Amino acid sequence: MKLIGSTTSPYVRRIRLLLGAEPYEFVNLDIYGEGRDELRRKNPALKIPMLEDGPQALYDSRMIARYLSAKRGLKALTWDQENQLTLVDAANDSCVTLLLSKRSGLDIEQDAMFYNLQRERIMTAMRTLSAMVDAGEFSVWDYPAICLYCMVDWLDFRSLVNFDGVESLLSFRDQHQNEVMVPETDPRNA
């Protein structure tokens, strides 16, 4: 099994944490530099992570997680868990959009509908996720909790959001810093 991605991607990190100590090859690509050509050859969606398992290629973290779950004989996520992942992915996707816009020299603080909608989505999702944490909905270290952890830690690492009013997300992150493979996959060590 080969996982292709980047050490700083929260989407790649979630799969690395899901794989845990399971043996696999990790290919770390600079997807905005010299690794771009390899990404184009491997994944027509131009996304990371990507998993190759024999002849099977999977192009997205949620598909990879579903594949690994089925391969391990685990039960499928509930609809509530799928909704949790949708909230995590919505906030994470909008933050990636802001980061890439900023790196492209665009003013992400401007009062423009596109950036206003991204900020609104991020904070609405984070408030909802924070309330879910407070209600104990992420008390088990499972795939949704791993995804939330990776997002929160990445947002803090990239200094993309203000955590005022959603501090329970940082507390959640801090409570899980010693889970299997969390220290080894920290993007600050990349």
Q: Please tell me the pTM assigned to this model.
A: 0.94
Q: Which fold has domain 2-74?
A: Glutaredoxin (3.40.30)
Mean pLDDT in the chain?
95
The domain defined by 79-175 carries CATH number 1.20.1050.10: yes
Domain definitions of the chain by residue range: 2-74, 79-175
Mean pLDDT of 57-73: 95
- Residues in CB range of 178: below 8 A, 6 or more apart: none
CB contact at 8 A, 8 and 31 = no
Query: Tell me: the pLDDT tens digits for 96-135?
Result: 999 999 999 999 999 999 999 999 999 999 999 999 999 9
pLDDT greater than 90 at residue 30:
no
Q: How many CB atoms lie within 10 A of CB 65?
A: 23
- Peptide bond before 49: cis, by omega within 30 degrees of 0? yes
Q: Which has more pLDDT, 21 or 105? A: 105
Lowest mean pLDDT among 32-36, 63-67, 96-100, 166-170: 32-36
What is the rounded distance in angstroms from the CA atom of residue 63 to the CA atom of residue 51?
9
Amino acid, single-letter form, for residue 141: W
Model confidence at 33, in pLDDT bands (50, 70, 90)? confident
Query: Tell me: the pLDDT tens digits for 137-175?
Result: 999 999 999 999 999 999 999 999 999 999 999 999 999
- Residues in CB range of 144: below 8 A, 6 or more apart: 77, 81, 84, 85, 88, 138
- Percent of the chain clearing pLDDT 90 (strictly above): 89
